[in-house]
Amino acid sequence: MKKVLAVVLASMMVLSLAACGGGDKKETEAPKETPKATEAAKETQAATEAAKETAEKATEAAPAANGEGLKIGVCIYKFDDNFMTLYRQELQKYLEETYGAEVTVVDGKGDQAEQTNQIDNFISQGVDVLILNLVQASATETVAKTCADAGIPAVFINREPDATELERWESEGVAATYVGADARQSGTFQGEIILDTPNKGDINGDGKVSYIMLIGDPENVDAQYRTEFSVKALTDAGMEVEELFAQRGDWDQAKGQELTANALAQFGDQIEVVFANNDAMALGAIEAIEAEDRKMNEDIYLVGVDALDEATAAIADGRMTGTVLNDHMGQSHTAADVAIKMANGEKVDTKYTVDYVKVTE
Ligand code: BGC
């Protein structure tokens, strides 16, 4: 629809421009030029009509491209996750408003067995495509095979499967794809934000950056890569580092608060940098840091990932050093666009990534 409208609007603009051009010529040029101008206008009109026809035909040939009537099942690892809440709400809204699809979103409650049942239910209901944020990325191969056996295309989101699984999809022509972001980039950006501070994270000037790490879910590559690449950015820049504490906080704000409080009780002023694998845990860390009267950006730094509204507000208020935008809009829209294409039988790539963006004051 949108495309047709755009073509029609463009055609109208071309026609009115041609008309204006003709008018100018009439005033400034000799009458013998007029037939040429008329000819040109006629050609433009013919071309415009041909373009309109082609656009109309294209829309007729692919009526489902607008997603009208397509049934889409969406499985989210758990609803109680700040980032995935923004993501799933945008995904549903975009699929319904842009494509007119019928969308059902279910909560895996952090339980792979429960989510597997939900996937089986969607398959028996005969959905046209599945969008899957698995509880365990390690279940990808089994789930991809179940979907392929049922002839239902699968779009895996948020938790990147093993590279070997993506290669299998490619070589065996499996109708599956992954849409996400490269977590290495988010880790690197976190480290670079610390390197951009006046003392590069070495607040006490003892020649090393002493940090604590709030890990998301160790099974999740986002957590693994952010943990690794945030520190790597520092060491690649020639900084010495000292890890004082690293524990799993399962992406959760309350756990982020608890872990940071424990680490502060144990290591106190030695802690110069808090790396949180996501903003939810960073928001928890803020509470613990403020409870100890530590001065943000003076005697401690804190970085997260996601750019939740609460985190960007905290950065603006000087209560957090920085974060990295995990683009839930870009990712959910890409996942939706790719899902619609697959539901219409189009072949797509095995991987789509959306860039992260550094966010500081
Ligand atoms: C986000 C986290 C979220 C996790 C869920 C990550 O990409 O940064 O906030 O909890 O995905 O899998």
pLDDT, tens digit, 9 for 90 and up, residues 331-340: 999 999 999 9
Residue 313 has pLDDT above 90, yes or no: yes
Q: Could you give the 3-state DSSP secondary structure of residue 21?
A: helix
What is the arithmetic mean of pLDDT over 78-88? 97
- Are 106 and 76 a contacting pair, CB within 8 Å? yes
pLDDT-derived band at 65 (thresholds 50, 70, 90) equals: low
In the chain, % helix, strand, coil (3-state, to 5) comes to 55, 15, 25
Q: Residue 68: what pLDDT? A: 87
Closest ligand 1 atom to 306 CA: 8
Cα–ligand 1 centroid distance for 298 (angstroms): 28
List all residues whose CB is within 6 A of at least one atom of ligand 1: 81, 83-84, 158-159, 216, 220, 222, 251, 278, 280, 305-306, 326
Nearest CA to ligand 1 atom 5: 84
Q: Is the dihedral of CA 5, 11, 12, 17 positive or negative?
A: positive
Cβ atoms within 10 Å, residue 76? 26
Summarised one tens digit per residue, pLDDT across range 129-166 is 999 999 999 999 999 999 999 999 999 999 999 999 99
pLDDT-derived band at 2 (thresholds 50, 70, 90) equals: very low
Q: Is the dihedral of CA 179, 183, 186, 192 positive or negative?
A: negative
Q: Could you give the 3-state DSSP secondary structure of residue 330?
A: helix
Summarised one tens digit per residue, pLDDT across range 156-205 is 999 999 999 999 999 999 999 999 999 999 999 999 999 999 999 999 99
Close Cβ partners of 142 (under 8 Å, ≥ 6 residues apart)? none
What is the arithmetic mean of pLDDT over 107-116? 98
Q: What angle do CA 252, 254, 260 make, to 5 degrees?
A: 95
What is the arithmetic mean of pLDDT over 231-246? 98
38 versus 15: the higher-pLDDT residue is 38
Close Cβ partners of 185 (under 8 Å, ≥ 6 residues apart)? 229, 355, 356
Task: State which of 78, 80, 81 you would mutate to test the pocket of ligand 1, scoring each by most atoms of that ligand within 8 A of its C-beta.
Answer: 81
Residue 56 has pLDDT above 90, yes or no: no
Closest ligand 1 atom to 81 CA: 10
Task: State which of 306, 308, 355 you would mutate to test the pocket of ligand 1, scoring each by most atoms of that ligand within 8 A of its C-beta.
Answer: 306
Closest ligand 1 atom to 326 CA: 8
